Amino acid sequence: MKTLVLDASTSLLYIAFYDNNEEIYLLKGIGQNNHSENLLTGVKVGLEKFNLKMKDFKRIIVGIGPGSYTGLRVALTAAKMFAWTLNIPLYTVSSLDILASGYYDKDGIYAIVTRAKKGYVYGKLVEVKSNKQNIIIDDCFLKTEDFYQKIEDYNYFEINVENCIINPLNLELKQVDDLHGITPNYLRGEL
């Protein structure tokens, strides 16, 4: 089964094609607020390289946030468009989980952190045991020092854009039933 995976919630633009359990195309690039220019181009390059059409995909996975307002809208809009026009099932997952997904087959406690603006972070704390994920602190938007204070009593490994390992096959996916009603997980607090 061919799967398209998209995430543009952070400075990392992630586009991957999977054929069953094998990654056949990967585009991972650091952007400077230019994911809107590169997402569809990246998909097109992969399609041309492997002589594929969008209708060849049997599912689409998209990072739903939290993260960059524009990046979330770009990836989700593209995913919804492909899913709706081609009748392909759409699945969402936390963008923080996407960044950590390559670690989710190893037991441990993981703090997933991405920078937001003005001294804030998006964060999550997850314990993995026997390939099962237990959320200790769910996706949140906090001042940087507040997040680290919340997790200071845990023996964790920190995952961020620089050391992420992505394996979307390790993720617990949520199928979207209402394509028109799905919105990104923006997570904003008082700034």
Q: What does 55-93 look like in DSSP terms, one character per residue?
A: GG-SEEEEE--SS-HHHHHHHHHHHHHHHHHHT--EEEE
The two tokens of residue 189 are: 């607090």
Q: Is the pLDDT of residue 1 over 70?
A: yes
Q: What is the pLDDT of residue 35?
A: 84
pLDDT tens, position by position, 91-140: 999 999 999 999 999 999 999 999 998 999 999 999 999 989 999 999 99
Q: Residue 106 falls within a domain, yes or no?
A: yes
Residues 62 and 137 in one domain: no
CATH number at residue 126: 3.30.420.200
Residues 133 and 87 in one domain: no
Expressed as residue numbers, the domain containing 135 is 97-159
How many domains does the chain contain in total?
2
Q: Residue 181 falls within a domain, yes or no?
A: no
Residues 71 and 153 in one domain: no
Residues 85 and 102 in one domain: no
pLDDT tens, position by position, 178-189: 999 999 998 875
Q: Residue 80 falls within a domain, yes or no?
A: yes
pTM over 0.85: yes
Residues 80 and 113 in one domain: no
CA distance 104 to 133: 7
